[in-house]
Structure 1
């Protein structure tokens, strides 16, 4: 490899943190939800709310947290305070601190709960507090001593209360801190203690500690042990079906194979990591892996494949900041240079130059080193020798700081080519000598690593052969034992069988005499039973004939009922359209703009209900409405009604959910009112903007409707509870009608959010699409 992405450099030193509270299985989550619905407002409900919120926080550990978590925690805090339940107050505060661990207020919440735990002399909760306090600090070198002190306090207290699983979990984080501090030997000691405690407690999910142990062995140069522990982490995660961090474990295996330069294995595990990241929606990790896999493909002389991969994944996962945009641009420059598309390489090289002044890049020497090298290589290929020299010298200087020998060697080689092209022979010779010196040292190290890799392969094959030989020996022994047992059992079985045959012969003789007498008696009884069966068959045939006639009549009535319901919906739709036409006619005779606007809004409401009945009339399943089609038609109609096609762009994210009419009607009216308000007030001419309407499934039978715009927002001091505008009154009234939770926020425009539960209302959805 010429050089690696910062993602892998970080991976070689540490591993990704795991959630403090393990994620519950789906069965456990369903049980928790069921208990919550039935629980009374007591201390047990506080415990259930805290457990549910902690599981959600862990489940969304690396993603944006849903508002449901904060709602559960606030309920637990309020109930604990009302019950004067001190333990519940501590646990609910910890849950809030765990949720807000990276926000400014999270640390204060944890400190408050920690102080209360110390006042109560509750050592177990105090231990949790020290751990969560450590979680509120970033993993920076400056803060490592402070984080280590907190973790050591947590380890001591968990050991005092004999909680082996929690003690092992905190030891793993302590080892991570020591590794980041540059003490891999001390980190390895703590990890071995962590694994021993896990085994003593019978805890199966040891993959996080095994992964960090692999990173530690890698840092210590124990590549054989690193590979074994990395593969063990993957196996442990699969065995326990805990796939949240599986992509990280695959990346670890690929990084260890990187040490042996076994590129097929590297590509195999990085691609497995890519699939796992995409399955868990880790878009940032997937984007970083794209550049890493592309560099391996370039080293394999497969530039077309690398280019296709970067273009595909950067389109699927757009870069989200200057750092990721720089990484994608560098990858494209390298691919275009290898495929001799110099015009495209130069265009993306200019993008790389534009990112050098970004605040995310300017202080990162490692990133600057790679960017300078990319620009210098592009300028050399396009014969801009003076510019190439400037950037290559900058790259060489940065490389001496971050000590990336392979890329420094490549930089010296490029400087040699620049000097040769400009006729500067002394400088060219000096750079070539330096290139050879660095390259020779890398080659020697690579040879030793390859020898270690071959030794690992030899040991593995030898172990497999020994296992196969022992297996064969065991099979031969088992076969011999079975053969002897079969011979003994055959003799005994023959003797027993002879006795049984003689006994059965005598018994059959006696039974035959008795059976002859019984058969004569049964013959008379069977004749009488046959006559009775014939009589009952005739009666049954008559009953079945009458049943078939009734079924045919019922089927006809059902068809007639469906036809009548469709006709009713059709006529209601027609009547509503007549009302809409009357309102439109009335508006043409009015001169007051407010009256005309009121008439048009009423006409829109009528049209929304008419669309609903039209959907019911056209649907095969009467009584249910496809909300995706219904919502799309409402928004399209309103955009056309207000003539805002040019100034307002719509974005619809509607899941294909089918709702009963009792739910579809108020939801349609709420969409009408919210979209109407946005079109009237959010985008005053000549302002343009985007209007987003979404209907998502948050959990089984729990849905969320959102209408968001990026317009001028609500006036200062707006209060949803005190608002008396007709639109808001209608929205609040309809929200109460369906027992929904309504929220309005004004960050970057207006966002109206409505959560509603359909447990008491039938709902039908395409399970795959909603999931």
Structure 2
């Protein structure tokens, strides 16, 4: 029922005061239904911005930003005003703002007649907020907003109301297409905030100024970086995350995918710090980035994390998109049956309201049916869906036409195939570049293959060029398809040298995309995911059974209470007569129960003491083992030292000294485990510092060698610390012995740090003479290098050695949480 119907209805039933009372009651009830899971207004705003940015970008231009924001607010039952009112409203809900949230605009406008001062300013700004950020851009709405804003801007004194009005006015000018005037007003806001040392609003102005510019505009990143530095200084974590997300969008559009991936990890870490748990959007993007690089194992890992992050019914609105990503991973991994399952699962909630989420999955399912040589089923799916849900947006029309063309091609109806392929090409050539992703080049390559098959090589070659012109960088899978198409065209045109070259490139990218090692890891990750899923289902089932049992007990308890009450009414006189006897019996029972409880408590206390004693003995025994291992190693070290005094062969002496250093590296670990409270992990910064100092002191060289140590605060389990210590020992000793000429100054750098959430990287680098006759990264054969390789294999890591103004040894291995 609209505003007019409501007003007419209440005119004939109740008076004006009762009407506003009912609205106020209803709105207060509505305002209490926040479904975001956050009570802090800053986190609610962040959720709306993160969700709407994801929705806007993943739609690839099918939904505008204002509509995406309104959709996010509606999804989590949050106020439609909070995304843009943080300068002048800290989340306080009033009777007037609640009317706007319920779209009772006429009633809110009528209240302006009786308001003055700050209440009037707040209502003027919130009405402007409502009209500026309505879906679409209507001049009539913007005119209303401008009228309200001008009244606030007439203030001579600068207040939060005036700054808020200036910010909204700048956004309004941008929506009118007057970008220069908008930027000038943002500059005036920033200048005003700088003079008044209002750093927070200055940063907000920078952020909003960047948002009003078109994607890809170089000024956007400049504004965002300025905002980010201030938010970081002020420790405004939510705004820092929001700004980093905007920077990430720019990286994504510019195809700076490696930088985007690093930025998303930074965002996830910040979200963890502030206990913001809606990480599914970040993990979905990480899954996509890993997928397009050909790292399907990581892509599956992040896909699992994405699905696990959905915690509520509201979060699951986007599940069709996440299931689509999972289906693509299975299809890419040649698990077509599983891919079909996930595509079908993504289509479970198929309505016009949710078509933005499931439509891509529908197209992917049709595409997979074609791949499985079930083109008749694909055609049936396409036609039935078209009848119920005709394609509406340009994105839907072009991709529907592409899949339909491919289906007709497989059914040998070449005229219909070419007709639909032409529809795709006509729309694609004018599609906004910022919303073009990997499906566009893949489509062009497929259409190129069609024209090659019907003998139109010139057209085929042109379409290949069109495919790569739509993006700065195509993914691994698309690269393989790109070179394969070139190989086919060159073969047809008898350009055999080029054909062989392109075939090798195609095979290279195809092999790198999903090799045997990745298949093995992928299968392991799937098993782990399914096992975890079953465990969770079992726990959920147990919880449901337990809840049902509790409810059954409660019902039984209620029945018993009623029965006992009835019996008490009947026998109350008898109970009064025998009260003394019952009291005596109860007293004896209580005494017996108390004695029993005392005995149990005494037993539990003695049992607990015994367990504590055993635990301390266990820790003492483990420490004693470490102490004795250390003593034995030192005894062996002393024996080798004594033996070396009788050796005359210099090589033998050197070998003995190398062995001494290796044993000392292990001995130091056991010594630390003996002295530290923790008996299973080693603090690497202190250990590496002591080890490097010992190795340096163990040489009596005239050359001046400096050490640089960059070691993160990492605690490693002893199973990883020992091989790592031996690797450092071998690398540093080799550098001291061979990297520098006599009396030559030199630098040896030892660094240990996290590369991402899962991996740790050790790097030992010197600026010495480097390896002689060095040609490849593995073309070495010595005991030290072989020992490092063996220890790296023990860590289940990777080993790289490079000549880059000295020798650089890089070890990357998975971090075992202790």
Larger radius of gyration: 1
TM value normalised by structure 1: 0.48
